[in-house]
Each structure stands twice: as structure tokens, then as C-alpha cells.
Amino acid sequence: MNKMRSFAAVYNCGIIYFNDTIYSIFIEKYMNCPFCNTTDTKVIDSRETDDGKITRRRRVCEKCKLRFSTYEEVALLNLSVIKKDGTSVPYDKAKISQGLIKALIKRPVSEEKISTLLSSIEYEIRTLEKSSITTKEIGKIILKNLKKVDQVAYVRFASVFKSFGSIDSFKKELDNLDKE
Ligand SMILES: [Zn+2]
């Protein structure tokens, strides 16, 4: 088995909040202001998460003066993702975050928790030390981690991922949640 090689590359993940609930999550290689898109932003605060895996930066846009946070961490490279139809595409963190956006939208989950969630998911993928992974395997890892963070988001994600064939299978999933 080919061991995955990883390179240090910085990606940014930003989360926009309105009234303490998540409005949107975005990931970009270069950070622009999410409101007016200017590249002219200034770092006003910088700190690492407890485990040192992520650096959180608080930024202010020089143009529209709005504030937002970005997260920088080592990205997973040289990993291919095998889709349902058997074709493979390069691993793309933005796709994971898009799935999370849909599940977490309007949920009261803190910025800290989301950045930790994203990094736990990637950490788990990285520790598999594989050169390829199926979308199904990724989905399972996301579900496992999401369950610990927010049960509503978990059910939302599960309903898309598992594409419940019937109301009964959906109910069964909810019953399983209650038991835990
Ligand atoms: Zn701006």
C-alpha cells in the first residue's frame, strides 16, 4: 500500500456568524473579505487551538471594517477520493465543508467546535495513511464526528448520506440516537 505523502500547505476556513448561529462556512486558499471580497484584510488577533493543530486568526476588513475569523492548518494532499461510480477525484476539503454547511446551518454550534470538528475529520482521514479513500468512508467519518457535536446536524447529514429509503429506516436511525 502506498503511504500517503503529506505536504505542509495552508488553507483557510472562515465561518460567518449572525446572532450566534452559523450562517456560512467557507474555505479558500487565499483569504478575501467574505463580505466585500477585498484582499485587504488585517490580522488583529492570532492564537493556536489547545492541541496546536489549527491557528485561529481574527481579521478585520480594511475596506468594509467587518470582522471575521480564519483557521489555518496543514492540508491533506495527494489523496484521491473514489466516488460511487468508481471514478476518482483529488481530495478537496471544501467538499467536506459544503456537506457540513448544509447540516449545521442555523445550528447553535460555536466557532471553536466547528474548527475542531473539521480538524478531527481530517485527522482521522490522515491517520488511515491511505492514498485513496471512498466517499462512503469519508461520509462515515463525518457522521461519527458530527454525532458528538450536534444531533440535529447529524440527522440532517445522515438523511442525505444514507438516503433513507423509507420513513421507517429514518425512524430507526432516530431511535438509535435516543438510545445513546
Ligand atoms: Zn470587506
21 occurs within a structural domain: yes
**Spacing, Cα 165 to ligand 1 middle (Å):** 44
62 occurs within a structural domain: yes
Give yes or no for residue 103 having a pLDDT over 50. yes
Q: In the numeric block, which cell numbers belong to residue 23? A: 450562517
Beta pairing class for 41-48 and 21-28 = unpaired
Give yes or no for residue 120 having a pLDDT over 80. yes
**Spacing, Cα 62 to ligand 1 middle (Å):** 7
**Spacing, Cα 40 to ligand 1 middle (Å):** 8
122 occurs within a structural domain: yes
pTM over 0.85: no
**Spacing, Cα 10 to ligand 1 middle (Å):** 22
Q: Please count the structural domains in the chain.
A: 1
**Spacing, Cα 107 to ligand 1 middle (Å):** 25
**Spacing, Cα 65 to ligand 1 middle (Å):** 6
44 occurs within a structural domain: yes
Which residues constitute the domain of residue 75?
Answer: 10-179
Give yes or no for residue 5 having a pLDDT over 50. no
Beta pairing class for 55-61 and 10-18 = unpaired
Confidence of residue 141 (pLDDT cuts 50, 70, 90): very high
5 occurs within a structural domain: no
Q: What is the mean pLDDT of residues 131-145?
A: 90
Assess contact for 30 and 86: CB atoms under 8 A. Answer: no
Beta pairing class for 80-82 and 132-134 = parallel
User: Could you report the per-residue pLDDT of 29-85, keeping only the tens digit for each?
Assistant: 446 777 787 888 888 888 876 666 667 778 888 999 988 777 666 555 578 899 889
More confident residue, 9 or 175: 175
In SS3 terms, the chain reads as CCCCCCCCCEEEEEEEEECCEEEEEEEECCCCCCCCCCCCEEEEEEEECCCCCCEEEEEEECCCCCEEEEEEEECCCCCEEECCCCCEEECCHHHHHHHHHHHHCCCCCCHHHHHHHHHHHHHHHHHCCCCEEEHHHHHHHHHHHHHHHCHHHHHHHHHHHCCCCCHHHHHHHHHHHHHC
**Spacing, Cα 17 to ligand 1 middle (Å):** 15
**Spacing, Cα 32 to ligand 1 middle (Å):** 8
**Spacing, Cα 41 to ligand 1 middle (Å):** 8
3 occurs within a structural domain: no
**Spacing, Cα 28 to ligand 1 middle (Å):** 15
4 occurs within a structural domain: no
Q: Which of 4-8, 118-122, 157-161, 176-180 has the lowest mean pLDDT?
A: 4-8
User: Could you report the per-residue pLDDT of 18-27, keeping only the tens digit for each?
Assistant: 555 555 555 5
109 occurs within a structural domain: yes
